[in-house]
Amino acid sequence: MLKDGETQRKKRLGILISGGGTNLQAVMDAVASGRIPAEISLVLSDRRDAYGLTRAGQSSIPTCYINKKDFADSREFNRAILDRLTQSQVDYVVLAGYLSILSGELVDHYPNRIVNIHPSLIPSFCGTGCYGIHVHQAVLDYGAKVTGATVHFVDEGTDTGPIILQKPVMVLPEDDARSLAARVLEAEHEILPEAVELLVRGKLRVMGRKVVIENE
């Protein structure tokens, strides 16, 4: 219970990226507008040249680059990430185009508090090796008529956690991988901030593989 004169601190987000950070920007905009009642306390990248670090820096958000090559194995690499997240008092972790695999230790530290955006309708076109432009080319090669974007909780598997939100995107006859990727990215920009808002507001309840969105 808060004492007189005390105010409850905002929930803190740690956002992990590997690239340009357009999904990061979508979350940043939602935080800045007050839609997501939280603050971004850290943007962390596994790539030094990720433009998302510049986006965050321009908004005075703390950033951090951690190089895999500085560590003996992925476990030590993930331990360094976990240490940095805990130092920043992060409550929720958002993977916004982050391409490294999280360790079980890190996932266990944030049970049902890590979300990821994936550029397909899971369980299709996901799993090991399915990232970035490879996903959209696989959709086209298979001849799928519908693809989309998925936000899901992160577990120890690859794209296997319970699904929070999905948004379909039609595959057009004239699409190539890049044009399809651009339209799927628009869907990602819609559902990632929505999912983070629901998470921070305590509206998500996980029941086995199902995620229930509570209206009250």
pLDDT tens-digit series, residues 22-80: 999 999 999 999 999 999 999 999 999 999 999 999 999 999 999 999 999 999 999 99
pLDDT tens-digit series, residues 143-188: 999 999 999 999 998 999 999 999 999 999 999 999 999 999 999 9
pLDDT for the residue 80: 97
Give yes or no for residue 9 having a pLDDT over 50.
yes
pLDDT band at 215 (very low <50, low <70, confident <90, very high): confident
Active site residue 118: yes
Domains in the chain, ordered, with CATH? 10-110 (3.40.50.170), 116-216 (3.40.50.170)
Model pTM score:
0.94
Q: What DSSP letter does each residue of the chain carry, written as one string?
A: -PPTT--PPPEEEEEEESS--HHHHHHHHHHHTTSS-EEEEEEEESSTT-HHHHHHHHTT--EEE--GGGSSSHHHHHHHHHHHHHHTT-SEEEESS--SPPPHHHHHHSTT-EEEEESS-TTSS-STT--THHHHHHHHHHT-SEEEEEEEE--SSSS-SPEEEEEEEEPPTT--HHHHHHHHHHHHHHHHHHHHHHHHTT-EEEETTEEEEP--
Q: If you average pLDDT over every residue of the chain, what do you get?
A: 94
Give yes or no for residue 216 having a pLDDT over 80.
no
* From 109, 118, 136, 152, the catalytic residue: 118
